[in-house]
Amino acid sequence: SQTIHQWPATLVQPVGSPLSLECTVEGTSNPNLYWYRQAAGRGLQLLFYSIGIDQISSEVPQNLSASRPQDRQFILSSKKLLLSDSGFYLCASLRSPGENGYTFGSGTRLTVV
Amino acid sequence: RKEVEQDPGPFNVPEGATVAFNCTYSNSASQSFFWYRQDCRKEPKLLMSVYSSGNEDGRFTAQLNRASQYISLLIRDSKLSDSATYLCVVSFSGGYNKLIFGAGTRLAVHP
């Protein structure tokens, strides 16, 4: 079965600082990968998805970017954080080919101050 | 209109109660449906998929009504450990298996 590793678990960053969140996947190859954000008391919002190396699609215009330099590595970045970037960031992978459910990483709780 | 709508709750029920959550979705092309469970400050975890014929997993029963674009989750004999937020989730073709999440319904089971 696949496992998703995310780090760090929590992060406090000042406004204007850069961001890099990493997600790696084990137990599968060529997975569809996703970045979601959950603001406090809100639902999950899809930010980016990737079907392969260097193939990134953005769902909403924002201050963030994503990259997939390796098959099982997905990175979320920002050059300058905004207060509104605070939230719970979750990396997800499609559970298995032909099955639509996701497996999620344990998430990174980001607070921008 | 939100793509997936849920009553946010909270639903406060005693142990042993039966509780039902409802969810509506706006995209008639939606193809797959799920219920996820999210504990406080944790990642969502798949509770069950929802099939057109309805399906049951122990104390949990899920129903889908495509004509009304409506999904339900029934929990029987509630346990304290069922306290969590329940997320209604849909996906549709042409979107690289993107899942659209509802904001969730919070359940609190008390002794």
Residue B94 pLDDT = 60
* B21 has a chain A CB within 8 A of its CB: no
**Residues of chain A contacting B, Cβ within 8 Å:** 32, 34, 36, 42-44, 46, 49, 51, 57, 59, 88, 90, 92, 94-95, 100-107, 109
Using a CB-CB cut-off of 8 Å, the residues of chain A touching B97 are 32, 94, 100
Q: CA–CA separation, A65 vs A50, rounded Å?
A: 12
Quick check: B46 and A94 CB within 8 A? no
| From A64-78, B19-33, B78-92, the region with the lowest mean pLDDT | B19-33
Which two three-digit tokens encode residue B47? Answer: 């509770």
Residue B52 pLDDT = 85
Greater model confidence, A90 or A103: A90
Phi, psi of A64 (to 5 degrees): -115, 160
- Mean pLDDT across chain B: 91
Nearest by Cα to A31 from A58, A60, A59, A55: A55
Quick check: A101 and B101 CB within 8 A? no
Each residue of A7-58: pLDDT tens digit? 999 999 999 999 999 999 998 888 889 999 998 777 899 999 999 999 999 9
Nearest by Cα to A11 from A83, A109, A80, A78: A109
Q: Which residue of B has its CA nearest to A59?
A: B98
Q: Which residue of A has its CA nearest to B106?
A: A41
Place of tokens 């920002």: A78
Quick check: A43 and B104 CB within 8 A? yes
Residue B22 has pLDDT above 60, yes or no: yes
